Structures are given as structure tokens and as C-alpha cells.
Amino acid sequence: MPPPTPVLSLELIRLGEQASSRDEAIDRVGQMLMDGGYVQPAYVASMKERELTMSTYVGNGVAIPHGTFDDKTLILATGIAVAQFPHGVTWDGSNIAYLVVGIAAIRQEHIGVLANLARVLEDETVAKALWMTTSADFVYQTLGRPWQDET
């Protein structure tokens, strides 16, 4: 399969998901990144490993798991996968994530991807709308906007 080009696509947005743990939620977005051709399978374990040293919960009910720096070679293309968990997932013992955005970013694109997501998700009203919506298109339009604006 040739590497994908869009950073975000409707196929990588899942609403109404359920997970009994942080690791299960990471498995879900990691599998989406693998299925989309963005990462090699071992990247999912790297995403879980990062959580052991630093939580990727960023506030407003959002977590942005990504792999460790040492495992950047497992990334095939830059992309994000979004899973919404309406009932929430206990993330780091004290926080609940309702929106989990898995990131795979090559080279220096990592900082740009995080910055674009942070710019959108720092607004509590927008974050809550994303974790309550029933429209994948709304998620796509809201989170895809930073990359659409760059073209």
C-alpha cells in the first residue's frame, strides 16, 4: 500500500467508541494508524511506552498519544487518528479522556502537528463539542482545518 498523504481523513475518525482502559484506547487509535498505512505495528507499543514516562493527557477531556522519540523510524507517514469515547476513559489515574487523538509524525512535522491540534483543542467549548458530537464530518472539519488552511 502506498503511503497516505492526508494528515486526517474521515476514515480515521471513529465516534461512539468504548474502551475499558487507557491502553485499550491507545490500541484503538494505534490500529487505525496502522490500517491507514501511517505506522508499523510496533509503533502502538511505543505509544503505550511513552505513557509510562509522561502522560499525553492535555486537558479538556483530550489525550494525544504518540510514540517515543526513539521509535520515529516506525512512522511511515504523518497522520492522526481520532477516537471519541462518550463514556470516557480513565487516562492517568486522575483525568478522563473523551477524545483520543493518536499521532504519527515524521521528522520535524511532529511539533507542527501537536501545535495545530493544541491550537484547536485548547478551547474547552470546542473540545467538548468534539467529544459530544455525532458527526464525523464535524470532527474532520474542526481538526482538519489547520492542515486545510496550510494548502
Residue 110 has what pLDDT? 63
Residues 17-64: pLDDT tens digits?
999 999 999 999 999 999 999 999 999 999 999 999 999 999 999 999
Residue 64 contacts by C-beta under 8 Å, 6 or more apart in sequence?
Answer: 56, 58, 100, 101, 102, 103, 114, 117
What is the grid cell recorded at 4? 497516505
pTM of the model: 0.89
**Measured distance CA(98)–CA(83) in Å, rounded:** 8
Residues 55-79: pLDDT tens digits?
999 999 999 999 988 888 999 998 9
Helix axes 124-132, 136-150, angle to 10 degrees: 130
Residue 121 has what pLDDT? 86
Neighbours of 4 (CB within 10 A): 17
- The domains of the chain, with CATH numbers, are 10-143 (3.40.930.10)
Residue 75 has what pLDDT? 93
What is the grid cell recorded at 98? 473523551
pLDDT of 125 above 90: yes
Centroid of chain to Cα 133:
16
